[in-house]
Each structure stands twice: as structure tokens, then as C-alpha cells.
Chains A and B, each alone.
Chain A
Amino acid sequence: MSQDSRNARAAQPAAGDAGTVRVTLTVNGADHELLIDSRVTLLDALRDELALTGTKKGCDQGACGACTVLVDGRRVLSCLTLAAQCDRRQVATIEGLSSDGRLHPLQEAFLRHDGFQCGYCTPGQIMSAVALLHEGRTGSDDEIREFMSGNICRCGAYPNIVAAIREVARQGAR
């Protein structure tokens, strides 16, 4: 997306309060109109305003990947993204991944391969992995490792995360 169209989509200041903006977030297909402080990040808007706490905060500094969500299909760090930048954009979070109570194949693969321990990085890992499949970065284990390296797992579940993604990527290829 060009810089221009991004600006064109910026939220408008709400009348009467210079620090407050009106934003419409489309999260997992549903529209939410929010009146929020312009400083609020997408991460905090999801967690505090919309009670979607599946997206995690591990650093709030863009260094861990726990807050990874998809905006218009691309993975972003929601702690480095202002909610106001996402006006009328499509935001996808972990809560929207399963449908009709059925887990997404990546969620199932993470379960089967024990791709987590404490589970705190897991929503971010899985959202990153969803994007990875679309990015076509699953050609080899090394490629998966490289392009999943923005998501820290302090419990060290990396080999199992790679196994889970590899399995889903191979199934998709078949």
C-alpha cells in the first residue's frame, strides 16, 4: 500500500477532544467503532477496548512478536501500530482463526507437535505462521526458521514450531 492511501485512511480526530480519535476497526470480519486516545496502539485497542486478549504483549517495543496480527492480510506488530492507523482496515487475530469451533490446521499442528509450553508466544507464532504460508516461505526448515525468527519463544519450542509449520505446509502443497 502506498504512503498516500495509508494517509487517506487515517482516522479523523473526534470533535471536541484533540487527543481522541474515532476509529473503525474491522476485526475478524466484525466492525467496531471506537473513540480512543490517539496514543493507543492497535495491541492495546484489541486487548483493552475490544477485550480480545488472545493477542499478547511481550515487550511493547517491537522486539518479540507476541503481538503479531494480520492487517489486510500482512503480519504486523500490533504494539508498533497505532489503532488510528488501522481505520477501516481488516485486522485478523487469533480469536478469528478457528471457524465453527474447528481449529485451524496450524492450531491443530501446534497442539500435535507440542509447539509451545507456557503458550504466551503461541498466538503470535500461529498468526505469523498463517502469514508465512501465504508468503511462500515454507520451502525448507531453514527458511521456516529464518522467517519465524521475529517471534521469540522463551520456552524454546522452536523445533516443534518448525515441525508444526512444515507439516501444514506439506499438506497444503499436496
Chain B
Amino acid sequence: MTLTRPVVVGAGVDRVDGPLKVAGAAAYSSDITLPGMVHVALVRSTIAAGRITRLDTGAAEQLPGVLAVLSHHNAPRLAAGPTNNLGPTPPPPLQDDRIRHHGQYLAAVVAEKPYQAAAAARAVTVEYERTEPVLRIEDPAGELRTDPFGMDATRGDAAGALAAAEVVHEATYVTAENTNNPLGLFATVAQWSGGRLTVHDATQWTSNTCQTLAQMFEVPESAVRVYAKYVGGAFGSGLRVWPHVVLAVLAARTVGRPVKLVLSRPEMFTGIGHRPNTVQQLRIGAARDGGFVAIEHEALQTVAMDDENLEPVAASSASAYACPNVATRDRQRRLNIPCPGSMRAPGEAQANFALESAIDELSYLLDMDPLDLRLRNYAQVQPQFGLPWSSKALRECYQVGAERFGWSRRDRRIGAMRDGRWLVGYGMAGVSYLWWQVHCEARATIGSDGTGYVRSAATDIGTGTYTVMRQLSAELLGLELDQVRFDLGDSNLPWSPQAGGSGLTGALGNAVHAACRELIRTFLRTVVNDSASPLRGCTIDDVAVSGGRIHHRADGKLGESFVAILARHGLDELTADGVSDPPDPQEVGMAPAGAFAAKFVEVHVDPDLGLLRVPRIVSVVDGGRILNEKLARSQIIGATVGGVGQAILEETVTDPRTGRIANANLGDYLVAVNADIGEIDVTFVGEPDQLTPLGTKGVGEVGLPGTAAAVANAVYHATGKRIRSLPITIDDLLG
């Protein structure tokens, strides 16, 4: 039983959670109301470094509706959270008087009404002993961490090869800090009853939130249940258990009532991570014919006090191109800033801008077409391991993209193309996304009415997990779409990894595959000695499923329905579990491939006003097997829009003296709006990946990287101005 004949899968099925969402009936955590529920508001630090000398809650406690004010004076000591595959849990709040960053939580006010809590939070007075904060990435006063991920890569002798190279391009690229800003305000609803904790949260990872809260509050995991049925976007900000979640749980325990804590938009800038800014040095050496002889990539990024953030930047340059001599180095500077964290395509969003800009620059030094230069250095095998890729159709991405975009119409001369008074530029970039997959579990049941129920603790943050997993389950169980339910977003369901790293569809899909297969085996075991069954003695390799029946592979008539088997054996249902684990690349003799993509971008630049428009973007993606083309396409569109934001709009601005974020709202922090986005063309190419039975490669992030570099490269083509910092602003283009 394999997925050779996609029937349900692949089709552009509409989102199964769509009817609820368009009716405003999907309940996000901020929509949950419990009887007797009260509200929490937060007090945040107004300095970036130092300590609290006085924190007075007296006035706040007297205000109407106030039930409790928590601070480091009265908060209990909490155990540290666990370390998982993304690193340690952020430090628990209110544990001491130290200030690590502007916006750090100093107190939590609990009141009957949200506006009462907010008013009381403003009445808490704090005095500080201020010390000089370390805020700039270049500041040597901040601790410099070398190789923080243990992923620095070398092959050959990059320095030697650069010294001897015929052509060398060397430059520094800078990317701004960006803030995830999912539209849904993060909210936590927490309730304790009889030593049991129930939480509704905006998280990408219910299993981890459950484990973390259990550990911090020293209760068994079985006493904690975390729901995230609908999440209003996250883009990485829901991967960790942030201090506000802990505060909500603590507040609920303190007042003995259910509480709701909704972050304000300004708090969304300091409390749930952000994409760290980077300074990256790129050196590429090439022979006159365009062949790369050396790539050196050193990337410095920021990290917070007492925290870690898994964000390999330079590391991805080791496997992007065939090149004998490579050195990549990641560095982190520790600053008095809010904790950085993952934001859609963490690391790669920044790295790709530097690498793909540098290659474009090199193409002009070599007088080669930038697309030809990339093809000239195509990594046919994984260059670091020398193993064949489990799948790679990047060449096809380039070819199809060039065709759809009309790359051949590009006049190579700078500033030669125009549309009226606007300068027109064409730019492109390649993307080789890193592979990420982790352990996952799922459970599948078929009941006496013949319907299926498949579930896992996973989350759907808008990615389409509800839909594609229902499609997949239906296909694997031989049922119609409306005969299967797929449930997620509940930590009581089988353990799931994070919806992150573009890894969930693969991990969960393979776990669902395993669970459904095991369920069919369980049915076959039930009838193994059943003389009344036409399936007696069959193994899973002998059968196929369709129309609610298991039947002989060779003879569709020879079989029987799930309903008949259950009825004859007096069973209400049969259930089976499945797990998936990432395969060992050495064992399978293949290098696990992430998704690949090519981006082609047209920009228009007003030479007098410096206005920059991006009317057209063509993306061609090798995402392995695509489970639902409609939803996968939306993932690429959305990530591309995020890429446009990174390229020309988004920058979190921190006051270099105080550490205060100066634009912590959606009026001043610019994200792409509808009028910023033109035509976005998306095509999928490639074959199912060979590494797993399902053959998917995640497509949640691959649409973002490449966008900024292609925009910058197009801007150069249009104007002759090489912009090496993001976002590209009007000042850059007028300067």
C-alpha cells in the first residue's frame, strides 16, 4: 500500500476550516471566554539594563476591580523550562530584580475587567538603578559567541583559494531586525481546577507548551492540557513558551479563577521574538569562466541576555553551490534586547540576501548572465557530504522561472529598460532551503459507522494542516473526504513537533501514513483466521483500500468493508498509532533535501522620487510531493509577500540610547499591504522526495528567501545602485 496514485491528495481542495473562518466562527485563544474569567495586564520595563530599586503596587491594588498584582516581590520561584531541539525555554518572568531589556515584564495585574487591569498596570510605579545597556551589534562590550550552533562548516581551503582566485567579490551585507507581527494578538487563557491546568494559547507547538508548563509549575504533564485549535498566524513567534504564557498561568493560580491575558500590539514587539538583525561578510572567488573556487561567509547576529536562539545564518551557504573551498562562520552578539526568535525562514531569510546579492555582483565582474552563473555552479550532489540529493529540481526551477518571467527579454545593460518615467529592473535569486525533520506521532481510528478519525497534537497556523492531513488520511484509509475527521491543536493528542522549520507536513504526514497503515494491518490481523472474511491471511502488501473497503490488490471485488469487519467481530472501533522519525542520511545514502526555489522579480524605480514598486514576482518551487496545490500555492504567495516586506518595508527600530523600540505598532512598523503587492506567479516542479514514504518537502518558508535578493538585484539592474542593506528605502535610492 503506497501513495502511487494520488486521488484525493494533490487536488486543490478548499480549506476544511474555511467555512468557520469566513464566518468569524473559528475561536482563537483571544476569543475564549470562561465563566468567572478575569483579566491580566502587564507592566514593562522602561529601561534596558540595570535593576529595580523600588516597585510600588500599593496604588494599583486599591483600584476598582483589582484582584492581585504579581511582581518579583511576591511571585513564587519557578523551575526553568526544558531545553528542546530549538534550545532552552526563555527565562521565567518575575524571578529577580535584574533588567535585561526594555519591555521586560516587571509586574502582572489581575482585575475583573480588561480595562481595569490596564488602568491598574499604569498605576504601578517602578524606580530603577540604570546601567549602560549594550544595544548595537558592533559593540565590543557585548559578549561575542563563536560557532553558537556547532554548524560552522569548512571544506578545502577557502582562504588559500580566495588569495589565488582570478576574480574575487567581497562585500558586507546588513539586514534589519524584523518583527513577526502575526495579526492575531497572542493570548493565553489559563484555568486551574483541582491541580489540573487547562490553557488555550497561541502556540505552534502544544506538546512543548504542555511539557514546559508542567516542568515550570512542577505538576505532571498529564495534569496539563494545552489547546491551540486556531492560531491567528505566528510565523515562528509561537515556537517558544514566552513569559506572558507563564504569567497567565501564574495569575490563574494566584487568584484561583480563570484568567485571560491578551498581549497588546506594542507588547507583540518585545515579548514573542523577532528576526535578529545581521551583519554578513561574503567573499566569493571564481575562475574567469565563472566556476566558483571559494565561498567564505561570516554572519554576525544578535541574541538576548540569558537566552539562546537557534538561527544558523551562514551555515546554509555551505550547501547551496558546488564549490571546492568553503568556510562558513556564525557569530552572535549578546545585547540588552528582547529575545530574538524564529521568524519565517529563520537564518535563511538573512543569509540568502547576502549570498544571492553577492553572486549577482560577481556576475557583473565576470560579465555573465546571473542565471548562467548559478547554473554554472549548480550543486548536482550535496557538496558538503558528496551524497546525491534525495530530490532536487532547482535546475527546472530556474528554467521554468526564466520562461514564465521572460528573462530572455532582459536587456543586460544597467538602466536600459524603462516604462515611461520609471526605470525597470529584472533580478533573480536561487534558494536552497535546509532540511528539517523531527519525531512525530499520530493515531488513527475507524468506527463502526465506517468513518475515520485521525489526530495529533500538531497545530494549523494557517498552513492548511487540518485540510491536507484530512485529505491524506482519506486517501490512506480509502474513504471520502467527508468521512474522515482530522483533529489537532490539543496536547492530549499524540505528541507532535512544532509547526516550524517547514518540517511539520513531512513529520506529521509520515506519522499519519504510519498510523493509517498500522490501522489497516490491525484490521487484517482481526480477520487473519476469520473464515468468513475474503481477506483472511492477507498481509498489507496484498491489499489496497477504497470506498470504505479493504480489498485484494489484484481483485477489487474480493474484499469487505471496515463496517462489516467491525460488526462481525463485535467491535465499536479499531485504533492504531503511528510514528515517524527522520531517516539517517548515511544509512539511506542520500543527502536529505529541503525545498528549492527560483525567484524572478521585476521592479520599477522612480528615478526622481526614489519610489520602488514590485509589480511582478515569479516563483518556481520544488517542494517534492505537493499534497494540496491550492494551499501550497497560498503558502508561497504569503511567504513572498513576507519577502517583499523584508526587502522594502520592514525594520524594527531601536533607540540606540535607551533600547526602546521606537516603532512598536502597525502604523510605524511597515508591513506589506494589498497595494504593495502586484502579480505573484507560482509554479511547482519536481518529483516526490525519495527520503520518506510521503515524499513531501515543506513549503511554508521557501517562498520567502530569494525575494529580497532578487529585488535588490533588480534594483541594481534598474538603477546601477547596489543596495547591500535591508530594507531598501527611498533614502537608499535617492542617495
Binding site for B on A (CB under 8 A): 37, 39-40, 44, 47-48, 51, 53-64, 66, 93-95, 97-98, 103, 107-108, 110-112, 114, 116-123, 126, 142, 144-146, 148-162
Contact assessment for A118 and B675 in the assembled complex, using a CB-CB cutoff below 8 Å: no
Which listed residue, A47, A144, A152, A160, touches B671 by the CB 8 Å rule? A152
Contact assessment for B184 and A118 in the assembled complex, using a CB-CB cutoff below 8 Å: yes
Q: How far is the CB of A63 from chain B (nearest CB, A)?
A: 4
- For A111, the chain B residues whose CB sits under 8 A away are 14-15, 18-19, 22
30 cross-chain CB contacts under 8 A: A39-B115, A44-B115, A56-B28, A56-B183, A58-B232, A58-B265, A59-B185, A59-B666, A63-B265, A94-B23, A98-B23, A107-B22, A111-B14, A114-B631, A116-B462, A117-B635, A120-B28, A120-B183, A122-B24, A123-B24, A146-B675, A149-B676, A152-B183, A152-B666, A154-B181, A154-B183, A156-B638, A156-B642, A159-B677, A162-B674
* Residue of B22, B233, B672, B673 most packed against chain A (CB within 10 A): B22
Q: Chain B, 654-686, contact with A by CB distance < 8 Å: what is the 0/1 string? A: 000000000001110001111111011000000
Which listed residue, B113, B183, B676, B680, touches A58 by the CB 8 Å rule? B183
- For B27, the chain A residues whose CB sits under 8 A away are 53
* Residue of B18, B665, B674, B676 most packed against chain A (CB within 10 A): B674
| CA of A116 to CA of B638, assembled, Å | 9
Main secondary structure of the interface of A (DSSP, over half): loop
| CA of A159 to CA of B464, assembled, Å | 18
Q: How far is the CB of B177 from chain A (nearest CB, A)?
A: 17
Contact assessment for A103 and B19 in the assembled complex, using a CB-CB cutoff below 8 Å: yes
- For A59, the chain B residues whose CB sits under 8 A away are 185, 265, 665-666
Q: How far is the CB of B531 from chain A (nearest CB, A)?
A: 49
Contact assessment for A61 and B28 in the assembled complex, using a CB-CB cutoff below 8 Å: no
Q: How far is the CB of A19 from chain B (nearest CB, A)?
A: 9
Contact assessment for A117 and B638 in the assembled complex, using a CB-CB cutoff below 8 Å: yes
- For B33, the chain A residues whose CB sits under 8 A away are 48, 51, 53
Which listed residue, B23, B182, B637, touches A118 by the CB 8 Å rule? B182
- For A37, the chain B residues whose CB sits under 8 A away are 113, 115
Contact assessment for A63 and B21 in the assembled complex, using a CB-CB cutoff below 8 Å: no
Q: How far is the CB of B647 from chain A (nearest CB, A)?
A: 13
- Asked, given contacts A58-B183, A94-B23, A120-B233, whether A158 binds B634 with beta carbons under 8 Å apart, the answer is no
| CA of A112 to CA of B634, assembled, Å | 12
Contact assessment for A153 and B183 in the assembled complex, using a CB-CB cutoff below 8 Å: yes
Q: How far is the CB of A57 from chain B (nearest CB, A)?
A: 6
Which listed residue, A48, A118, A158, touches B674 by the CB 8 Å rule? A158
Contact assessment for A145 and B675 in the assembled complex, using a CB-CB cutoff below 8 Å: yes
Q: Which parts of B614-638 form the interface with A (CB within 8 Å)?
A: 630-631, 633-635, 637-638
Contact assessment for A112 and B14 in the assembled complex, using a CB-CB cutoff below 8 Å: yes
Contact assessment for B462 and A60 in the assembled complex, using a CB-CB cutoff below 8 Å: no
Which listed residue, A44, A58, A103, A155, touches B22 by the CB 8 Å rule? A103
Contact assessment for B233 and A44 in the assembled complex, using a CB-CB cutoff below 8 Å: no
* Residue of A59, A97, A119, A159 most packed against chain B (CB within 10 A): A119
- For A160, the chain B residues whose CB sits under 8 A away are 634, 637
Does residue B648 face the partner (Cβ distance < 8 Å to A)? no
Nearest B residue to A95, CB-CB:
B24
Does residue B461 face the partner (Cβ distance < 8 Å to A)? yes
- For A64, the chain B residues whose CB sits under 8 A away are 183, 265, 666
| CA of A94 to CA of B26, assembled, Å | 12
* Residue of B18, B24, B633 most packed against chain A (CB within 10 A): B24
Q: Which parts of B13-39 form the interface with A (CB within 8 Å)?
A: 14-15, 17-28, 30-31, 33
Q: How far is the CB of B680 from chain A (nearest CB, A)?
A: 5
- For B182, the chain A residues whose CB sits under 8 A away are 118, 120, 154
Contact assessment for A159 and B679 in the assembled complex, using a CB-CB cutoff below 8 Å: yes
| CA of A118 to CA of B28, assembled, Å | 10
Contact assessment for A116 and B233 in the assembled complex, using a CB-CB cutoff below 8 Å: no
* Residue of A61, A118, A152, A157 most packed against chain B (CB within 10 A): A118
Contact assessment for B183 and A117 in the assembled complex, using a CB-CB cutoff below 8 Å: no
- Asked, given contacts A56-B232, A112-B14, A156-B642, whether A126 binds B22 with beta carbons under 8 Å apart, the answer is yes
Contact assessment for B23 and A155 in the assembled complex, using a CB-CB cutoff below 8 Å: no
Contact assessment for A119 and B17 in the assembled complex, using a CB-CB cutoff below 8 Å: yes
Which listed residue, B24, B633, B637, B674, touches A93 by the CB 8 Å rule? B24
Does residue B699 face the partner (Cβ distance < 8 Å to A)? no
Contact assessment for B667 and A63 in the assembled complex, using a CB-CB cutoff below 8 Å: yes
Does residue B639 face the partner (Cβ distance < 8 Å to A)? yes
Q: How far is the CB of A42 from chain B (nearest CB, A)?
A: 14
Q: How far is the CB of B423 from chain A (nearest CB, A)?
A: 20
